[in-house]
Amino acid sequence: DVKVTQSSRYLVKRTGEKVFLECVQDMDHENMFWYRQDPGLGLRLIYFSYDVKMKEKGDIPEGYSVSREKKERFSLILESASTNQTSMYLCASSLWGTGAGEQFFGPGTRLTVL
Amino acid sequence: GENVEQHPSTLSVQEGDSAVIKCTYSDSASNYFPWYKQELGKGPQLIIDIRSNVGEKKDQRIAVTLNKTAKHFSLHITETQPEDSAVYFCAAIQYGGSQGNLIFGKGTKLSVKP
C-alpha cells in the first residue's frame, strides 16, 4: 500500500514564526502536491513538484514556498506565518505522468496560527 | 483556468436510498474526472474516476456519468450504507505548465441515516 505520512497531525504556531510541514511518501512517486483545505472552499493547490528540485506554483502559492531535495520528501514552508494561514494542510503523491492519475493523500496537518 | 462547481454542499439520505452529487466544469480541454471520498480524520481517497472517452463507469454501488457536451459529471451511490457517510469531492484536470493538476469542487457532506 502507498503510504504518505505527514510530520504532525496538529501544530500550533505564533504569527511571524517560520513553519515547516514535512511530507514523505514510500512508493517512489514522481509527483508530490501540497493542498490546503478550508470549510466551504474544498481543496486548493498550493504547490506541486514533478521531480526532485522541481516545483510549480498552484492556485494559491502566496505566502508559501516548497523544497524537494529528495524524491520521497516534499516540504511546505511558511516563511512568516499569519493567522489567515490557519488551515488543514494535505500532502499527496502520484506516479509520473500527465497528472491524470490517482493521488494518494496523507492524513493532513491541522495548523493553527495564533 | 478550470472552474469546478459541486452541488449540493450537504446531502442527507436514509440508509438504502440512492445519493447523487453533481459537478460542472468550465474547461472543455479537461479529460479526466476523479471522485474522492474523505472520511473523518483522514485524507481524501480516490473512489472512482472517468475519462472523457467514456460516458459512464460503474464499480459495485458507485457509478459516475459524464456529459461532455454539457460539461457536467455526476456521482451516483445506490443502496447507501452508514459507512458511505463522508465528504465527497469531484475534480477535473487542468492542463498548463509542465503537466496537468486537479481542480477540486468544494465538497459534499453526505450523511446516511440508519
B106:A42 CB<8 A: yes
Rounded mean pLDDT of B71-75?
Answer: 97
Chain A positions in Cβ-Cβ contact with residue B93 (cut-off 8 Å): 98-100
B101:A45 CB<8 A: yes
Q: Which has the closest alpha carbon to B89: B58, B43, B51, B56?
A: B43
∠ Cα A11 A16 A18 (to 5°): 60
Nine-digit cell string for A47: 504547490
Q: Which residues of B touch A (CB under 8 A)?
A: 1, 6, 9, 31-32, 34, 36, 41-46, 49, 51, 89, 93, 95, 97-107
At B97 the pLDDT is 67
Nine-digit cell string for B81: 450504507
B102:A4 CB<8 A: no
Quick check: helix, strand or coil at residue A85? helix
Rounded CA separation B45/A104 (Å): 7
Shortest CA distance from A103: residue in chain B:
B46
Shortest CA distance from A89: residue in chain B:
B43
Phi-psi region of A14 (alpha: psi -120 to 50; beta: other; left: phi over 0): beta
At A37 the pLDDT is 97
Tell me the pLDDT band of A2, cut-offs 50, 70 and 90.
Answer: low
Q: Which has the closest alpha carbon to B106: B6, B1, B3, B2?
A: B6
Span between the terminal Cα atoms of chain B, in Å: 41
Q: What is the pLDDT of residues A10-68, one digit of tens each?
A: 999 999 999 999 999 999 999 999 999 999 999 999 999 998 989 999 999 999 999 99
Rounded CA separation A100/B51 (Å): 9
Q: Which of B95, B102, B105 sits opposite A103 (nearest CB)?
A: B102
Shortest CA distance from A32: residue in chain B:
B101
Bridge partners of B19, per DSSP, are: B77
Rounded CA separation A102/B46 (Å): 7
∠ Cα A34 B90 A54 (to 5°): 25
